[in-house]
């Protein structure tokens, strides 16, 4: 059996939105590579079920309820990690949500929710992470999307929020570097991935869903959607010491979609 690399031994990692999809795979892979992992999600019951079905629980993963839109909760989570483990080394801002609406159809309520979860949550996470990391350094990775790079009319608010994540990431990266905090900040931009969020989007399209999926696959040079593990692997690379000179970058993981 091939031995697993232990790039994160003694590292403390926080992953938000960990109950499913890419977040769940990230939790499992960080733990497998030796990290002490704290997994959070707004759906604590689903998070517990997911941990129970995976190997994560056996590897000592901690689970907590967290609403990333709640700034006070961020302070509580980050300070609690430091109290229990002495530090926080890596923060993965993975929690997110999406909706299907054009610019004309987007309601104020949809807009506010999209910004609260996808952008405010990242801002609050970075603020909390920087506060507890700046004395010893660390890594922050924000999950963006190719919706920040390529316009999709039906993702008006989602694309706007993810574009904000991309620029917020770069701003934080430059700020932390110039202040000599030793904190690297990068964003990962997945393309269409085999996750519940994508399948829910296709289902919401109704009869147009199958046609949209076929059109998307035609536009992806590699001819298929990504598997969650294929998005998680580049995240682990950016979090590792192998990426020690990478900060402020947008890492596209899209099978060539954005360049085709």
pLDDT over 70 for what percent of the chain? Answer: 99
2 is a domain residue: no
221/234 same-domain check: no
124 is a domain residue: yes
68/187 same-domain check: yes
174/206 same-domain check: no
CATH number, domain with residue 246:
3.40.50.720
4 is a domain residue: no
Let me know if 199 is a catalytic residue.
no
Q: What is the pLDDT of residue 2?
A: 56
| Catalytic entry in 158, 181, 199, 245 | 158
Q: Is 72 helix (H, G, I), strand (E, B) or coil?
A: helix
205/90 same-domain check: no
27, 256 in Cβ contact below 8 A? no
E strand segments, 36-181: 36-41, 62-65, 90-93, 138-143
216/87 same-domain check: no
206/79 same-domain check: no
20/136 same-domain check: yes
Count of the separate structural domains present in the chain: 2
Please write the tens of the pLDDT for every residue from 135-167.
Answer: 999 999 999 999 999 999 989 999 999 999 999
67 is a domain residue: yes
163/216 same-domain check: no
201 is a domain residue: yes
Please write the tens of the pLDDT for every residue from 40-88.
Answer: 999 999 999 999 988 887 899 999 999 999 999 999 999 999 999 999 9
User: What distance in Å separates the CA atoms of residue 206 and residue 201, rounded to the nearest whole number?
Assistant: 9
111/205 same-domain check: no
41/161 same-domain check: yes
The percent helix, strand, coil of the chain (3-state, each to 5) is 50, 15, 35
Q: Containing domain of residue 133, as a range?
A: 12-191+227-251
């Amino acid at each position: 059996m091939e031995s697993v690399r232990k790039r994160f031994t003694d590292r403390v990692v926080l992953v938000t939105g960990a109950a499913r999809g890419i977040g769940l795979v990230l939790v499992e892979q960080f733990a497998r590579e030796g990290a002490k992992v704290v997994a959070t999600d707004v759906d604590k019951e689903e998070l517990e079920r997911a941990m129970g079905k995976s190997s994560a629980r056996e590897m000592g993963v901690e689970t907590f309820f967290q609403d990333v839109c709640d700034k006070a909760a961020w302070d509580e989570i980050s300070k609690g990690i430091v109290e229990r483990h002495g530090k926080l080394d890596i923060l993965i801002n993975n929690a997110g949500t999406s909706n299907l609406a054009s610019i004309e159809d987007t309601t104020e309520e949809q807009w506010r929710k999209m910004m609260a979860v996808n952008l405010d949550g990242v801002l609050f996470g970075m603020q909390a992470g920087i506060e507890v990391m700046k004395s010893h350094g660390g890594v922050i990775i924000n999950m963006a999307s190719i919706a920040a790079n390529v316009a999709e009319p039906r993702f008006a608010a989602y694309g706007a929020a993810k574009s904000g994540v991309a620029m917020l990431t770069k701003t934080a990266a430059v700020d932390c570097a110039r202040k000599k905090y030793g904190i690297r900040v990068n964003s990962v931009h997945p393309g269409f991935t085999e996750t519940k969020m994508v399948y829910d989007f296709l289902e919401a399209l109704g009869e147009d869903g199958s046609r949209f999926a076929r059109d998307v696959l035609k536009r992806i040079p590699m001819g298929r959607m990504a598997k969650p593990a294929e998005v998680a692997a580049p995240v682990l690379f950016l979090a590792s010491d192998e990426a020690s000179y990478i900060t402020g970058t947008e890492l596209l993981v899209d099978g060539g979609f954005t360049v085709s």
